Amino acid sequence: MLDALPDPNGAAPALVDPFGRSITYLRVSVTDRCDFRCVYCMAEDMTFLPKRDLLSLEELDRLCSAFVARGVRKLRLTGGEPLVRRNVMSLIRSLGRHIESGALEELTLTTNGSQLARFAPELAAAGVRRINVSVDTLDPDKFRAITRWGELPRVLAGIDAALAAGIHVKLNAVALKGVNEDEFDAMIRFAHGRGMDLTLIETMPLGEIEGDRTEQYLPLSAVRADLARRFTLEESSHRTGGPARYVRVAETGGRLGFITPLTHNFCESCNRVRVTCTGTLYMCLGQEDAADLRAPLRASEGDEALHAAIERAIARKPKGHDFIIDRTHNRPAVSRHMSVTGG
């Protein structure tokens, strides 16, 4: 049963799941569309949602604000690629009011970097202080092969623009066996040399893709052991509110994160829920159980039905996910693609 924590100021009660975990982090996919087709995320010939099925930007603002009113302190916009959503900056500027009021600690986004050169100054002006940029390789040809449509120089120019605008950038790299495992040393030095953190991520079994996932899967336990032969990895208490666990690399002075849903899941401290661009709330990335928030959102101008739907959903948040990859489980743990829920 959902625990409702009373607020001495009379505000709506915070959200706490059945396992006593406070829900303080919301990830919202503003679109399922993307201008890349990364091999571990999408099929090359994707069918995207009809635009009429998507929540409007005004509805997304109202939904996010309802969660902020219930204790969410970190809001991350994702996709697909969030910056390809038409007029998305109007949403980001509007949500920035929660930063100004102090209700929200952080407004951030995960991006492939393709549109950053265009939007970085506006993002900084809207209150975005930190972003994650997905870069799986520093080899232009390999980058093109992984993303199918992406151009590395354009992404690097976007990163330059974000840094120049005063936005802290963290690079995310999915560890892919036989693809980029020989590049991690160079990526660490590249990121740390520019004051950026780097987080390595195990590939996750979401959605049908071409090929066998066991051919891609590279356990980060093995990666970390290999890196430790050349770098001094010092344990760090640094946390960003997400699932990454960090070490400090003594030789560079920078931080290196590991997101390990398969070799060591991070469910025990999960404070996150995800909402899709159609208003579907997933209480766990690795489970199919979901709640429709679009219907209560559109049922009335008031938010009572929306808050009730959120409460019922959080009361069903599971203890952990069902991710597994091996030769007998090489099909996705869940059928939806990563671009639907935004990771």
Cα distance between residue 232 and residue 247, in whole Å:
9
Is 239 known to sit in a ligand binding site? Answer: no
Q: Are 172 and 199 a contacting pair, CB within 8 Å?
A: yes
Is 148 known to sit in a ligand binding site? Answer: no
Is 118 known to sit in a ligand binding site? Answer: no
Is 269 known to sit in a ligand binding site? Answer: no
Is 89 known to sit in a ligand binding site? Answer: no
Name every residue whose Cβ is closer than 8 Å to that of residue 328 and which is 6 or more positions away in sequence: none
Is 76 known to sit in a ligand binding site? Answer: yes
Is 52 known to sit in a ligand binding site? Answer: no
Q: Which residue matches tokens 């036989």?
A: 178
Cα distance between residue 215 and residue 208, in whole Å:
14
Is 170 known to sit in a ligand binding site? Answer: yes
Query: Which tokens in the block code for residue 322?
Result: 């069902």
Name every residue whose Cβ is closer than 8 Å to that of residue 164 and which is 6 or more positions away in sequence: 120
Is 277 known to sit in a ligand binding site? Answer: no
Residue 306, helix vs strand vs coil:
helix
Is 204 known to sit in a ligand binding site? Answer: yes
Is 248 known to sit in a ligand binding site? Answer: no
Is 64 known to sit in a ligand binding site? Answer: no
Is 101 known to sit in a ligand binding site? Answer: no
Q: Are 5 and 15 a contacting pair, CB within 8 Å?
A: no
Q: 152-164 and 140-147 are packed helices; what angle lies between their axes, rounded to 10 degrees? A: 100
Residues belonging to the binding site for [4Fe-4S] cluster are: 34, 38, 41, 267, 270, 284
Residues belonging to the binding site for GTP are: 27, 76, 110, 170, 272-274
Residues belonging to the binding site for S-adenosyl-L-methionine are: 40, 80, 134, 204
Residues belonging to the binding site are: 27, 34, 38, 40-41, 76, 80, 110, 134, 170, 204, 267, 270, 272-274, 284
